[in-house]
Amino acid sequence: MKIKEGEQLPNSEFYYLDSSGAAKKITTAEVFKNHKTIVIGVPGAFTKVCSAKHLPGYVNNYEEAKNKGITKIICVSVNDPNVMKAWGDSQKVEDKIFMAADPYCEFTKSIGAEIDRHDRGQGMRSARYTMLIDNNVVKKIQAEEDTATCEISAAQNFLKLI
C-alpha cells in the first residue's frame, strides 16, 4: 500500500444507497472528519473470505470496537452501491457498518491498494486491509500479503492493536 501511518487520507468519494434507495456520493473528508474510524478494505462483496471472515468479524466485534472509542466502521470495496447494500443486508450489518462503494476504484487507487484482477475476469480490485483512521489521519494499517487470507486484518487481531 502506498499510504503510510501518520499520513492524511487523500480526498476521494464513496457511494452508498440512502434510505430511499437512491445512490448518493459522499467525500472521504466528510466521512472521516471528527471520527475514529476502522476501515475494512476488501477485494469484493460476496467473495468467500470477505463474507466468511472479514466483514462478519467486525459485525460480531462491533461492541468491542465501540468500547475502544471507535465511532464508525466502514467497509470499502470496488463494487457499486447496490451490490454493497445487498451484501450488507445479507451479512446483517444493520447500522453497525457503513457499506461504502468505490465503483471507479478512485479511493482504492488513491491509497495504493489497487490490484489488477483482469486475468481472473474481475477487473481492478482492492487489497485486503484494515486501517484505523482518526480525524482523516491514518493511525494504523494492517494489509494482507494475499487477498485469500484474513489474519492480520481480521477483527480479533486488529482490535488488539488499538
Residue 145 has pLDDT above 80, yes or no: yes
- Closest to 142 in 3D by CA, of 157, 129, 123: 129
Are 38 and 58 within 8 A, CB to CB? yes
Catalytic site positions: 50
Task: Compute CA distances 149 → 98, 114, 133, 154, whole Å.
Answer: 23, 16, 22, 9
How much is the pLDDT for 125? 86
pLDDT tens figures, 89-113: 999 999 999 999 999 999 999 999 9
How much is the pLDDT for 26? 97
Task: Compute CA distances 139 → 55, 59, 87, whole Å.
Answer: 21, 21, 28
What is the phi-psi region of residue 150: left when phi exceeds 0, alpha when psi lies from -120 to 50, beta otherwise? beta
DSSP-based three-state secondary structure for 126: strand
Q: What is the mean pLDDT of the chain?
A: 94
Q: Which three cell numbers stand for residue 90?
A: 445479507
What 140-147 contacts at long range (C-beta under 8 Å, 24+ apart), as own/partner pairs, is: 140/5, 141/1, 141/3, 141/4, 141/5, 143/1, 143/113, 147/43, 147/49, 147/115
pLDDT tens figures, 29-73: 999 999 999 999 999 899 889 899 999 999 999 999 999 999 999
Residues 134, 156: Cα–Cα separation, whole Å:
20
How much is the pLDDT for 124? 86
How much is the pLDDT for 121? 72
Residue 131 has pLDDT above 80, yes or no: yes
How much is the pLDDT for 9? 95
Name, in order, each residue with C-beta under 8 angstroms of 106's C-beta and a sequence gap of 6 or more. 12, 13
